Chains A and B, each alone.
Chain A
């Protein structure tokens, strides 16, 4: 069974540019989460989808971040325009339900220069 996959693994962009990150969750997992880890700090929650619906987006830092989950399958996270403080590792995770293991992708390392 394929795990959670993320693309790209690395992205270096200039300040002001746009970047789109993609996450393919484990098939059948209704719950999809985006997290971010900045400079070796904690893993911070960004948002949570249940199928195609945004269940909780309280962690999204500002309106430069837009997440979608088309048809309840893969998800994208767009940053537009990117700022220097957006640099970090963006993780996607999926789970089949609440109060159960969340499976993480390998992350996308975003560097904004």
Chain B
């Protein structure tokens, strides 16, 4: 099955700085890589995803990069704001694509 490792487990940044979260995966057949944000007490929600036919995708202050050769992908948040504080999860499907395996999560704290 798929194995997803996520680092760091906690990340503290000053408001306005950038934050980078990295994930590695094991199944080379995986071709869909979503990132979820979970605010305290709320449900995980998709914030951005990338498919294996592209190497980078941006949506305003959020970007995801993918390196299929190295089997890792990263979330980049620029100009962080206090409302970015949350737990972020990366995920990848296995070869069958039937379910997502999640990374361990990164607790991001943005200090005003």
* B25 interfacial contact with A, CB 8 Å: no
Q: Are A107 and B43 in contact (CB under 8 A)?
A: yes
Chain B: minimal CB distance from A2 (Å):
14
B43, B45, B97: most-surrounded residue (chain A CB, <10 A): B43
Report chain B residues within 8 Å CB of A33.
Answer: 99-100
Of A31, A98, A104, the residue contacting B44 (CB under 8 A) is A104
Q: How large is the interface on B (under 10, 10 to 19, 20 to 34, 35 or more residues)?
A: 20 to 34
Q: How large is the interface on A (under 10, 10 to 19, 20 to 34, 35 or more residues)?
A: 20 to 34
Instruction: Give A27-38 as 1s and 0s: 1 = Cβ < 8 Å from B's Cβ atoms.
Output: 000010101000
Q: Are B99 and A104 in contact (CB under 8 A)?
A: no
| A31 to B98 alpha-carbon distance, docked (Å) | 9
* B89 interfacial contact with A, CB 8 Å: yes
Instruction: Give B15-51 as 1s and 0s: 1 = Cβ < 8 Å from A's Cβ atoms.
Output: 0000000000000000110101000001111100101
- For residue B52, which residue of chain A has the nearest CB? A99
* A63 interfacial contact with B, CB 8 Å: no
* A74 interfacial contact with B, CB 8 Å: no
Of A4, A35, A41, the residue contacting B104 (CB under 8 A) is A41
Q: Are A104 and B104 in contact (CB under 8 A)?
A: no
